[in-house]
Amino acid sequence: MKTIKTIIAFLAIVFTISCEDRLEVVPEDNVASSTVFSSLETINGLVVGIYSKNQSGDLNGNPQLISEFMSDNVNFVGSFPSLQEIDQYETLATNVTIDNTWFDGYELIAAANNVIQNLPDVSTEDVTGLTEDMKTTFIAEAKFLRALTYFQLVNLFAQPFQFSAGTNLGVPIVTAFFEGGDISEFQLERSTVNEVHTFIEQDLLDAAAALPEDNGTRAEAGSARALLARLYLYREQWAQAADLANQVISSGEYTLASDYDFYDDNPNSSEHIFVTINTPTDGPQEAAGSDEVYVNFFNPAPGGRGDAPFSQNLIDAFAAEAGDRRFDELSQAASDAGGNNTFFTTKYPDIVNNASDGMVLRITEMYLIRAEANLRNGSSVGDSPLNDINLLRNRAGLANLGSVDLAAISLERRKELCFEGHRRMDLLRNNLNLRPGGGPESAPGADKVIFPIVDDEINNNPNITQNPGNF
């Protein structure tokens, strides 16, 4: 069993050149030319560049933060106007945060499309060291990262599948290479949520079939299967969700950690399936890097901003059952930015180096997916829902339950995954208000529980439809 289950954007399969050096070799205005497909070094550099784009705080950082404070896990006390708008369900199409997420997302998709579209035509006879197996792996990595990004975008800019069985508008699907993140040149209407999900599903099926089971520090077959399990859960395809989660659990590539040390800057834990590694040498990724978002917002002063403490509702959820190690060991008492005494998560502890990692997929989520999908489907693929939930409770220092229902599974899911960006979608897909006792503005299906299509896209694309609401 391997020990490293992480993604680090500046490592390559063959070479040890830094990410920054690779990006100098592969400039943005030349990535579609035949020159960059003429050597193994530059081809690998293109793929590494996609991983680097995934480090953007607007793709891996802000969406997780926003998921937590739009819902009932975080009491946001920050002063950034763009984040305050979102927190108060008053998001405008001119909001700079969502603008950055939209364009950074499509910039990553463009980089992935470049590899997916052009690498198949590259002859291994013309590139020293390049093999067909390498080509297959590179393309599969690009498909996984493209799928991950489309999933992020459709979750933010569209109502979930449950809103109208997926017939509602999602986001535009672009498969061609283009410069930067501006897709308005294509003049595309938005595809439906079902169409976007189908596209994501195919990318992940392709990636799962083509990626190695062990791909060192990069995306691998288990990463694709795990994200596919999440997609099926969100779509209420219970049998498929349970099956894919069980495949990941039973693969032997990942194991449930015995304690919570994997949060303490431990990317080598077998708990991790896919992690965005952030290091002190990364630097900004066009906007604030994801390390800056996680460290600055989720930590109190002096190391952080103190903007995103536990909500009282989440504190109460943990307090209802004393001795939960997920609170006792993963929280700290401190004052927030407003001077209130509260608690902060310690899941992003590397304040000194400003380099805590972003957890995208880990084995714990697979147990939760399997438990929920089996319960809803009346099945016991891999194990029973009760056994899966008690396994997680035992690690948390809690007594076994005698039975489980959906509420019990949802509570364990909340306490396991808090501050990791799952809560908003978990509430929406279960038709629950994002705020306890919340009004119509935070109810499922409300206009601004999702983001508006950004103003720059609306102004330059007459064919795209804006989401309902006063933007």
Q: Look up residue 57 and give its amino acid.
A: G
Listed residue (165, 153, 58) closest to 451, CA to CA? 153
124 phi, psi to nearest 5 deg: -65, -20
Cα distance between residue 103 and residue 401, in whole Å = 46
Cα distance between residue 427 and residue 425, in whole Å = 5
Q: DSSP letter at 425?
A: H
Q: Give me the residue label for tokens 């066009």.
A: 286
CB-count exposure of residue 391 (10 Å: 0-12, 13-18, 19+):
middle
Listed residue (36, 169, 3) closest to 115, CA to CA? 36
What DSSP string describes 214-266? --TTS--HHHHHHHHHHHHHHTT-HHHHHHHHHHHHHTSS----SSSGGGTT-
Which residues, listed in sequence order, are joined to residue 82 by a DSSP beta bridge? none
To which H or E segment does residue 345 belong? strand 341-345
Listed residue (241, 90, 236) closest to 163, CA to CA? 236
Domains, the chain, with CATH or none? 41-460 (1.25.40.390)
Q: Contact, 340 vs 249, CB < 8 A?
A: no
- Rounded to 10 deg, the angle between the 62-70 and 132-157 helix axes is 30
Cα distance between residue 308 and residue 420, in whole Å = 12
Q: What is the mean pLDDT of each run of 10 residues along the chain (471 residues)?
A: 38 33 36 79 96 91 96 97 97 97 97 97 96 98 98 98 98 94 95 98 98 91 98 98 98 95 79 82 49 83 94 98 97 97 93 75 98 98 98 98 98 98 98 96 98 97 95 74
What DSSP string describes 35-68? GGGSSHHHHHHHHHHHHHHTTBTTTTTHHHHHHH
- 40, HSE (Cβ side, Cα atoms, 13 Å): 17
- In the chain, count of helices (H) and strands (E)? 17, 5
Distance, CA of 326 to chain centre: 21
**Cis-peptide into 302, omega within 30 deg:** yes
What value, to the nearest 5°, has the Cα angle with vertex 399 and ends 398 and 405? 95
- Beta-carbon contacts of 77 under 8 Å, excluding residues fewer than 6 positions away, are 306, 307, 308, 309, 336, 337, 338, 340
Q: DSSP letter at 189?
A: P
Listed residue (268, 466, 238, 280) closest to 374, CA to CA? 238
Residue 38: how many CB atoms within 10 A of its CB? 15
What value, to the nearest 5°, has the Cα angle with vertex 225 and ends 220 and 231? 135
Residue 187: how many CB atoms within 10 A of its CB? 12
287 phi, psi to nearest 5 deg: -130, -165
Check residue 26 and give its pLDDT.
39
Cα distance between residue 265 and residue 206, in whole Å = 31
Torsion, Cα 225 228 234 238, to 10 degrees, reads -60
To which H or E segment does residue 370 belong? helix 363-377
